[in-house]
Structure formats: structure tokens, C-alpha cells
Amino acid sequence: MRRKLFEVLTVSVLITALLAGCSEKNIEETEADAAASVASSAEEKEMTPADMRVGVFIYKLSDTYMSLFKDELIKDLVKAGFKEENITVVNSAVSQGYQMLQLRKLIASGVDILVVNPVNTSKTAEVTDLAMEAEVPLVYVNREPDAAEEIRWESESMPVTYIGCDARQAGTFQGKIIMDLGFENIDKNGDGVLQYIMVKGEKNNADTYFRTRYSIDALKKAGWNVEKLAEGNGNWDKNVAEYVVTEALEENPSPEVIICNNDMMAIGALEAVSKSGLVAGDDVYIIGADAFEVALEKILEGKIVGTVFNNYVEQARLTTGTILSYMKKQNVAHFYGSDYVKVTKENAETILGIIREGDETEEEY
Ligand code: BGC
């Protein structure tokens, strides 16, 4: 579906200018969408950012990635002229039912645009229906709805889009970072097979599924023999991951690689590894995804071997640009992706710089 979508997409000069800072590939739109000019609640009168009421629903606000994204989004919206008091942020507390309830409440009290980081990506049809009945454009972020949903937005010309990354790329990049270490260096026991532990995010999540699958596929495609010693769901959380890895190490004391679907879990894995007496970056290689500051520091210390940069700064800008496009009733595509970047000791400082200073750059809206 993603591939098909990209194939029919053509570059929009308009949105390119609006969403400066992302690659051309990521800011494409379908010509078919021209017909789908948005029937928003803002239709009758000319809206300005200062009038717009924005609802932002986050699956769990204590999630490191989502909290960084949310802060960045609010900063960007305010820069673009939105009023902070018109932005309602709702912590969905990992409950789909609660998210639906709060969505109904906010729609009833009046909202012009919804940004939803869904709790359960396979239940997004209900969220979409709710927003479409109320004629409120909808921007999904970070947790990608099912392919069937995206096909429906397109075929029914719905003012609905998804902004995030393609998790397949993250997995492939993780595999490549591992390969770059060289098989002879990783195969500590010299048996010709790479023994690994997989620490996964939440169940029923696209990032979990694709990062897990594509990291291993990349190794297999390169002809590496791999053996999974253990796997578990660390739910994107440092403490849960530490527990998962501690348990795994009891049965399998000598993994060669620990692949984690995100950085907080890589930090948890690192704790477990250190407590077990193994030396991370020497006896065993840990890899994450996201490029959080805390993980980048561990990469520079040589304790984590790499990560992939999940650029929340860019994704927040894309979201703000898309909200503005909906407001101005311009054409909006059904998918905007930002690219991941492979991060190792070589470029960790540069990425740290982007994170620390990137949000200070002046963006024109
Ligand atoms: C991020 C994780 C985050 C998760 C939340 C992923 O894309 O990499 O860090 O916890 O999204 O859904």
C-alpha cells in the first residue's frame, strides 16, 4: 500500500514550500486529492490560526517519544500563530475507550482539527468515523493505522492523513548498523551464527511489527545465520525492558546482540546487561531506535552500538504544516513520512546537536 501510494504521488510545490525542512519524497500528494478539498468545520468563515481549536490526543503522555513530540508540536503551533489556550492535549492513558470518550467530548464542545496518536491502531476506523461525522479533519501521528484504513481515506477522499516514519526503514537500518560491526566481531562464540535477544514494543503496533521483522530480514538477506534466543514485549518502556532482558539473560547468559524496538528499552536492556556482569559494547552489542539524548550519550560512551533517529522535530513541523493546509482548505496527501537516519558513534554528536538546537531554528509558516 505504501509503495503504491508513493508511486501515484506527485510533488506539490505548494506543500513543499509550506513544509520546509523535509525531503521532497516526503511531501508529496495525490492529484486525486485535489477533489478532496476539505470540508472542515471551518468551512463557512475564513479561519486564522488564532481562531483554530486544536485537539491533540496522545496514547500515553509518559511515553518519552510522544511527550517530546507533543512539546515540539505545541511550540511549532504557537510559532505559527495558534493560541496555546486553544490547544487541548488529552492523555489517553493507554485506553482506547477513554480516548474515544474524550474525543466525543471535545468534538461536542467544538474543535476544528484533531491530531490523534491512537491507542489501538486497529481501532482507528471508529476514530475516523467520529471525526468525519463531525466534519473535523484528522491527522494521525506516530502510530500508523491499518493499511485498510489508509485505502479508505483515499478512496472516499477523506480529510485524513498520517504523519510518521516508515518503520520498515528503521528495522532495515538497525540490521545495517549490526552488519557494519562485522560478523567476525559479533560472533563472540565463533559458531557461525548470530545469537540475539529481541526486545519488542507494544503488541499490535506497526512499529513493533516492522522494526522487529525488517531488522532480522536485513541480516538474513545479507546471508547471516541468526538465532533468536529470546524475545519479549518491553512496551516501549525502560523498566519493562530491563525486566524482559533480565529474565532472558537467566536462560541465555551469552547473547551476542540485543535488538530493541526503541531507545528507552535499549537503556533498560543496558541496565540488565550491566547487572548481569556482561560488558555492553564488548561482550554484547545493544541497539535501539529513536535517538533520544540519553541513548546518544550511551552511544558516545560505546555502551550502545547504534540507533536510528526518529525525527520528532520534523514530524511536529509536518503536523503543523498539515494543520495549516487543512485550515486553508489546501490539498493534503494521506501519508507524510519523515526519513530515519542511522546513528552510530560517528554521527551521534551531530544528531545531539539537532536535538538540542534543532527546535530553536526559525520556521516560516
Ligand atoms: C517510538 C517509541 C514510542 C512509540 C510510541 C515509536 O515510534 O519509536 O519510542 O514509544 O512510537 O508509539
Using the Cα atoms of residue 76, residue 79, residue 82 and residue 84 in order, give the sign of their dihedral.
positive
Q: In the predicted model, is pLDDT for residue 2 greater than 60? A: no
Q: What is the pLDDT of residues 121-177, one digit of tens each?
A: 989 999 999 999 999 999 999 999 989 999 999 999 999 999 999 999 999 999 999
Q: What is the pLDDT of residues 57-70, one digit of tens each?
A: 999 999 999 999 99
In this prediction the pTM is 0.86
Question: Distance from CA of residue 52 to its chain's centroid?
Answer: 25
Give the distance (Å) from ligand 1 centre to CA of residue 64.
8
Of the candidate ranges 31-45, 84-98, 176-190, the one whose mean pLDDT is the lowest = 31-45
Name the residue with higher pLDDT: 146 or 275. 275
Atom of ligand 1 nearest to the CA of 264: 9
**Given this model, what pLDDT does residue 260 score?**
99
In the chain, residues under CATH classification 3.40.50.2300 are 54-165+311-338, 168-309
Of 63, 58, 71, 60, the closest CA to residue 103 belongs to: 58
Q: In the predicted model, is pLDDT for residue 81 greater than 90? A: yes
Atom of ligand 1 nearest to the CA of 290: 8
Give the distance (Å) from ligand 1 centre to CA of residue 236.
6
**Mean per-residue pLDDT of the chain:** 89
Q: Is 315 in the pocket of ligand 1 (CB under 6 A)?
A: no
Average pLDDT of the segment spanning 20-26: 36
Q: What is the pLDDT of residues 276-290, one digit of tens each?
A: 999 999 999 999 999
Q: In the predicted model, is pLDDT for residue 112 greater than 90? A: yes
Q: In the predicted model, is pLDDT for residue 41 greater than 80? A: no
357 pLDDT band, cuts 50/70/90, is: confident
What is the b/e burial string over 122-142, where b = at least 16 CB atoms within 10 angstroms of the residue's CB? Answer: ebbeebbebbbebebbbbbbb
45 pLDDT band, cuts 50/70/90, is: low
**Given this model, what pLDDT does residue 158 score?**
98
List of residues 6+ apart from 32 with CB closer than 8 A = 8, 154, 157
Take atom 11 of ligand 1 and give the residue whose Cα is closest. 142
**Given this model, what pLDDT does residue 46 score?**
84
Q: Is 292 in the pocket of ligand 1 (CB under 6 A)?
A: no
Fold assignment, 54-165+311-338:
Rossmann fold (3.40.50)
Give the distance (Å) from ligand 1 centre to CA of residue 257.
21
What is the b/e burial string over 26-54, where b = at least 16 CB atoms within 10 angstroms of the residue's CB? Answer: bbbbbeebeebbbebbbeeeebebeebbb
Q: In the predicted model, is pLDDT for residue 32 greater than 90? A: no
Q: Is 143 in the pocket of ligand 1 (CB under 6 A)?
A: yes
**Given this model, what pLDDT does residue 241 score?**
98
Q: Is 310 in the pocket of ligand 1 (CB under 6 A)?
A: yes
Q: In the predicted model, is pLDDT for residue 362 greater than 90? A: no
Give the distance (Å) from ligand 1 centre to CA of residue 140.
14
Atom of ligand 1 nearest to the CA of 261: 8
What is the b/e burial string over 328-341, where b = at least 16 CB atoms within 10 angstroms of the residue's CB? Answer: bbbbbbbbbbbbbb
**Given this model, what pLDDT does residue 252 score?**
98
Q: In the predicted model, is pLDDT for residue 18 greater than 90? A: no
Element (H, E) at 279: none
Fold assignment, 168-309:
Rossmann fold (3.40.50)
Give the distance (Å) from ligand 1 centre to CA of residue 263.
9
Of the candidate ranges 11-25, 38-52, 90-104, 161-175, the one whose mean pLDDT is the lowest = 11-25
Take atom 12 of ligand 1 and give the residue whose Cα is closest. 143
List of residues 6+ apart from 135 with CB closer than 8 A = 39, 40, 41, 43
